[in-house]
Amino acid sequence: MSRKILIHSIVFSPDGVSTAYLYNDIALKFKASGYEVAVLTTTPHYNVVDSELKKQPIRKRVLGLFYESNFNGIKVKHVYQKKYKSTLLRLLGFVYWHIVSFVLALCEKKIDLILSPSPPLTIGFLNVIIAKLKGAKVIYNVQEIYPDLLIEEGGLKSGLTISFLKWMERFVYNKSDAVTTIDEIFYNTIVSRFKDNSKLHVIPNFVDTAIYKPIDKSTLELSKELFPDTESIKVMYAGNIGFAQDWDPLVALADELKNDAVEFFVIGEGAEKERLLQEKVNKQLDKLHILPYQPRELMPSLLAYSDIQFIFMSPHIEGHGFPSKVYTIMACAKPLIVISGNNTPIINFLNDKDCAYLLTKRDLQVAVAKISDILRKTSLSEFERLGQNGYVNIANNYSKEKVIGMYLDLIKKILE
């Protein structure tokens, strides 16, 4: 009889966000490796993609107490969740998801192992209890460090709440059978919080190199209206337009280079999109193109259309998160311009790979001057050289097969 793995995650297919895509691939590889896989998640609410919903329809069960779908032969149970504007409604929805998912997990037949990503920290807490009751093992995957991230953002100020969450973090780390984190910086940040640090493992994220790969620009079939053929250097960001990124350097760059042969493309949705649109109007930034979310299958083509990608990390989050788009950009042989502090995960990862321009000092004028100089003076052949370096590194070290193989080895060790 095959062993059963429960993936318990706040996002999964058909939700269209990076962690969902990551765990979609993990689930499929586990299934292909002979494990029975079940998934417990929410209804799509982070990035609802109609085309994905059509491919994976969600059906109501028990009068809407939960929903079910089928992801390539894997049964997925969804608990209703919505991005409410009201803080109270969001909190109530969050509590509802925890309660219902806890009950659904207890109703699952024989579970051998539970795997879940952070955030939220509370999902790890639930899994420890579920595992105790079901006789299962637990792996907790630290994608972002909580409660550190909430404290740095300034949204968490209550001493009592902070103390409780730090206790919960230590409980999850020390009661789980294994904890994985994606980077040496993350490892060094949390290792002292373990009684037995042999439980902590570094397993990076990965990219599907069958999907994300270099494409010849001459073969692209993108909308000419949105992505015109011009001789300009094309600088792009595609992803969540939120508070994790610092948008001030972009606005300043678009203003500085408005008379140069440089165009900026920002593709996606998020809380900061309206501010960017307003800045575009106020400063008459005609070469700053702010476009809606594009389907995932177009991403390799979008990357191929660009000459260079940018990621400008917000100071309050740069030490506690790692944008997974770094892998896909490198896999498509595109260079990066990155603004982030020293000893942050993204700088630590890129520092020795010769595929990116890294700016680590927080001075807007200096950053704009340096990046403007790069975009004005660097040849396309140099961008291509950097992009090729990134591609080779990903192919050799961060492919889906290689990284998920590390998870399979860890699972085998824990279960045996």
Band (29; pLDDT cuts 50, 70, 90): very high
Residue 254 has pLDDT above 70, yes or no: yes
pLDDT at 362 (0 to 100): 87
- What b/e readout covers 27-62, taking b as 16+ CB neighbours within 10 angstroms? bbbbbebebbbbbbbbbbbbbebeebbeeeebeeee
pLDDT tens-digit profile of 353-362?
999 999 999 8
Pair 80, 125 in one domain: yes
Domain-located, residue 76: yes
pLDDT tens-digit profile of 77-114?
999 998 888 888 888 988 999 999 999 999 999 999 99
Which of the residue ranges 136-150, 270-284, 355-369 would you say has the lowest mean pLDDT?
Answer: 136-150
Pair 51, 131 in one domain: yes
Pair 253, 316 in one domain: yes
Reply yes or no: is the peptide bond before residue 345 cis, omega within 30 of 0: no
Closest C-alpha to 115, from 234, 256, 7? 7
Q: What is the CATH number of the domain that holds 80?
A: 3.40.50.2000
Average model confidence (pLDDT) across the chain: 92
Domain-located, residue 211: no
Domain count, the chain: 2
Amino acid identity, position 385? R
Pair 133, 247 in one domain: no
SS3 365: helix
Residue 152 has pLDDT above 80, yes or no: no
List of residues 6+ apart from 189 with CB closer than 8 A = 145, 148, 319
Please give the Cα distance from 37 to 408 (Å, whole number): 13
pLDDT at 1 (0 to 100): 64
Report how far apart, in Å, the C-alpha atoms of 274 and of each of 163, 247, 270, 278 are. 36, 12, 8, 6
Pair 81, 106 in one domain: yes
Which of the residue ranges 28-32, 91-95, 172-176 would you say has the lowest mean pLDDT?
Answer: 91-95
pLDDT at 156 (0 to 100): 65
Domain-located, residue 193: yes
Residue 190 has pLDDT above 80, yes or no: yes
Pair 12, 153 in one domain: yes
Pair 158, 13 in one domain: yes
Domain-located, residue 261: yes
pTM of the model: 0.81
Average pLDDT over residues 283-301: 92
Helix-helix angle 87-107:121-134, to 10 degrees: 20
pLDDT higher at 13 or 86: 13
Pair 183, 283 in one domain: no
pLDDT at 332 (0 to 100): 96
Q: For the chain, first and last CA: distance in Å?
A: 15
Please give the Cα distance from 304 to 327 (Å, whole number): 14
Pair 393, 409 in one domain: no
Closest C-alpha to 47, from 239, 226, 206? 239
- What residues make up the domain containing 260? 217-397
Pair 292, 332 in one domain: yes
Q: Cα-flanking dihedrals φ and ψ of residue 260, to 5°?
A: -100, 165
Average pLDDT over residues 334-357: 95
Confirm if 245 and 270 have CB atoms less than 8 A apart: no
pLDDT tens-digit profile of 43-68?
998 877 787 888 999 999 998 899 99
Domain-located, residue 83: yes
Average pLDDT over residues 317-340: 92
pLDDT higher at 271 or 1: 271
Pair 334, 266 in one domain: yes
Domain-located, residue 17: yes
Domain-located, residue 114: yes
Helix-helix angle 364-377:248-256, to 10 degrees: 50
Band (281; pLDDT cuts 50, 70, 90): very high
Pair 11, 138 in one domain: yes
